[in-house]
Structure 1
Amino acid sequence: MTEIGVFPKPDRKRPEPLWHQAEQALRSLIADGTWTDGTQIPNEELLSRMLGVSRITTRHALRNLEESGLLRREHGRGTFVRSSTMIAGVRGLTSFTQEMANLGLVVGSRVLELGEVSAIPEVADALEIPIGTPTVRLRRVRLGNKAPIGIQTVYMPLARVPGFVELAEPAASLYDTLRDRFGITPREAREVFRVGAIGTAEADLLEIAAGSPVFMVERITSDAIGPFEYTVSTMRGDRYEIRSKLHL
């Protein structure tokens, strides 16, 4: 079990709730590498004593960190710092970069391909353009805290993003680039999730064994004019989760 490190303890004189202060204190231990991926953290009782708060307060903080994807609880074993994980669920229309930032992960990308291609039927149908229309294809490995999470291939009509291929920093946030350089602001998106097994080539890029389970996600994003982005993603099954809340 990992040792608890140095952190700012909750202060009852501060206006923030104790559970929030406790959560931030524990989050800082993960962010600075004191608690590394895969290590077991102290139990609730020990954490409560070290934090100087009740077990209910500690439990609240731990639950929030678990829901954020930073911790995982294993029945009968304890609580562990989990590998960089992205959680999908009910959320706003945001970019991968923003979603990662919201989870407290350091986003990164490695560009595999950037160029112009003619739209094949699948792409043309998604973007509502004729087959053979010039498009931009951007293929990247997406990283969270330097660990590969998924491979994303983006298609955009060239007419909507002229000069995109010549950009000096294609790995920056796509939606920021589209907004700032091309005046494109997303309004809605449709996503389809499937589960499959990964092939050898993509498995090597994601640093997992061929045949491992992955999420395959298709996303069509539109602005006021119409579809401008068709993205096909292959996400690691152990670093990508889908959560939702159900109501009557």
Structure 2
Amino acid sequence: MAEPTVLQRPDRRRPEPLWHQAEMALRELIERGEWAAGTQIPNEDRLCDMLGISRITVRHALRNLEEAGLLRREHGRGTFVRSATVVAGVRGLTSFTEEMRTLALAPSTLLLEASRVPADSDMADALEIPLGDPVVCLKRLRLGNGMPIGIQTSHLPESRVPELFAQAEQVQSLYTWLKDRCDITPVKAKEVYRVGRVAAADAEAIQLPTGTPAFEVERIAYDARGPFEYALSTMRADRYEIRSTLYV
């Protein structure tokens, strides 16, 4: 069990709620690597002593960190720092890069393949373009803290992104590039999640055996002019979670 060398105690004179100050103090330990992935953190009683706050306040902070994907609780064992995990659910429309930064993970992208192809029926339907129109396809390995999270293949109408194929090697955050170079700003997206398996062609890059269960995610992203991206992703099930809150 890891005892931090320095832990900022909440200050009751500050305007921020105590639970928020505690959450930020614990998050800092994770972000600076003092609590590495897999580390068991002190129990609630110890955290109360260390932070000088009540158990209900500690639980509030821990729950927020768990919902953010930074911690995991194991019944009968304790609370541990998660490995790189993307938590999907009710959230704003963001790029993978922004999601990683929200979870205090260093995002990176490895371009596996760039191509120009005629739109097949699936691409044409999703992008609302004529069958056979040219489409730029980017197949990329997405990583958090250097660990593979998933493989994403984005399809974009070449008429809207004329420079993308030539500059594919330089693109890290696709949405940032689209905004800066093509005046494309996403306003909404539709996503479908399915249970699938890792394909043989992706196994080496995603570092899982062929046939391993994984999430398959289909996304159509829109800007003010209509659909601009049709993305198909295979996400590691051990590093990608889907959470929902249900109401009566």
What TM-score, normalized by structure 1, do the two folds share? 0.94
Paired AA for residue 81 in structure 1: V
What count of residue pairs does the alignment treat as equivalent? Answer: 248
Q: Residues of 1 paired with 2:120 and 2:62: CA distance?
A: 47
Secondary structure of the residue aligned to 1:201 is coil
What is aligned with 2:151?
151
Contact 1:4 1:41 in 2 (8 A): no
Q: Percent identity?
A: 61
**Shift of residue 72, structure 1, vs aligned partner:** 0.3
Q: Is the 8 A contact 2:171 2:177 kept in 1?
A: no
State the alpha-carbon separation in 2 of the partners of residues 198 and 168 from structure 1: 25
Q: Which amino acid aligns with 2:74?
A: E
Q: CA deviation at 1:54?
A: 1.4
Cα deviation digits, residues 35-67 of structure 1 (max 9, x gap):
111121111011111112111111111111000
Alignment gaps of 5+ in structure 2: none
Q: Which amino acid aligns with 1:121?
A: S
Letter in 2 for 1:56: I
Q: Which region of structure 1 is more displaced relative to structure 2, 27-36 or 90-99? A: 90-99
1:202, distance to aligned residue in structure 2 (A): 1.5
Provide the TM-score with structure 2 as the length reference: 0.94
Deviation at 1:168, TM superposition (A): 6.9
Match of 1:207 in 2: 207
Per-residue CA deviations over 1:96-150 (Å, capped at 9, x if unaligned) read 1122222222211111112322222222222122222111111111111221111
How far residue 79 of structure 1 moved from its aligned partner, in angstroms, is 0.5
Matches within 5 A, 1:116-127: 116-127=116-127
Query: CA, structure 1 residues 51+221, in 2 after alignment: closer, same or farther (shift >3 Å)?
Result: same
1:5–1:29 Cα contact (<8 Å) kept: no
CA contact (8 A) 2:111 2:169 kept: no
Per-residue CA deviations over 1:185-240 (Å, capped at 9, x if unaligned) read 22221111100121333222122233222100011112222211000000010111
Unpaired stretches in structure 1, ≥5 consecutive residues: none
- For 2:103, the aligned partner's letter is L
- Give the C-alpha shift of residue 91 in structure 1: 1.4
Specify the alignment match of 2:230 in structure 1. 230
Q: Which residue of 1 aligns with 2:59?
A: 59
Greater shift in the superposed pair: 201-210 or 60-69? 201-210
Secondary structure (helix, strand or coil) at the match of 1:5 reads coil
> Which secondary structure state, in structure 1, belongs to the residue aligned with residue 181 of structure 2?
helix
Q: How big is the shift at 1:166?
A: 2.1
| Shift of residue 169, structure 1, vs aligned partner | 5.6
Residue 80 (str. 1) matches residue 80 (str. 2):
yes
